[in-house]
Amino acid sequence: MLLQKQKTYKKVYDAACERLLGSDIERQLKNAALQYEAGGGAFTVAIPFFDEAISLDLPKLVFKSAQGNNITLVTKIIILHYINTANGRLPGGGIVAYEDIPGCRHYRPVFEKRVAKPLQSAFARDRYAFLEAGMAMGGKKEEYGDASITLCALPRVPITFILWEGDEEFAPLVRVLFDPSITGYLPLEDIVVISKLAAARILKTARKQHMEEENYSS
């Protein structure tokens, strides 16, 4: 099953590479608001991916993380799709829930299971850990709910996470909101994927902070 999934990802990756190399690369990089150096038909592209700095050499299609992290095939696909899809529209048209993005309502249960519920379980009664993790990732504090943060997944893909803590009467709730322009930067299926990556990074950062606090106090 895992091997079949990898084969599928490889096909998607190869198709994204082919599309990018066959496009007006410079136009797409500008539409995606990415900084780059060009010369001799080659490009070195700087890609801010959450709190990580990734470079992409074109046409060699070589990805590198400034932090030395492994760049997964899924992350490479997301970045290529972002560049390929970018239409240059500026964010700033308000915020919408996942199910209010045209074409996404049917997949809300999948989105909730993969993105919102893990965050609800982890931060049910700890808004401060949620906020601290988001801020540590370079997120912008917002004023929604009990705690909220906007992360920049890619230059023109802001994602806002809102937490309402649970109590004896109400269960905890996490909502995830997007700028309506997201459909001009990512295919619909990638919206779930990048949101899941964002949630995983929040959880990982919170666990790391918790361990550091325990080590400090012991």
pLDDT digits (tens, 9 = 90+) for 5-14: 788 999 999 9
Provide the token pair at 10: 């490889």
pTM recorded for the entire structure: 0.93
What residue spans define the domains of the chain? 2-85, 96-217
41 phi-psi bin (left φ>0, alpha ψ -120 to 50, beta other): left
What pLDDT is recorded for position 135? 96
How many degrees, rounded to 5, is the angle at CA 200 between CA 134 and CA 147? 30
pLDDT digits (tens, 9 = 90+) for 117-164: 999 999 998 999 999 999 999 999 999 999 999 999 999 999 999 999
Q: 163 - beta bridge partners? A: 147, 174
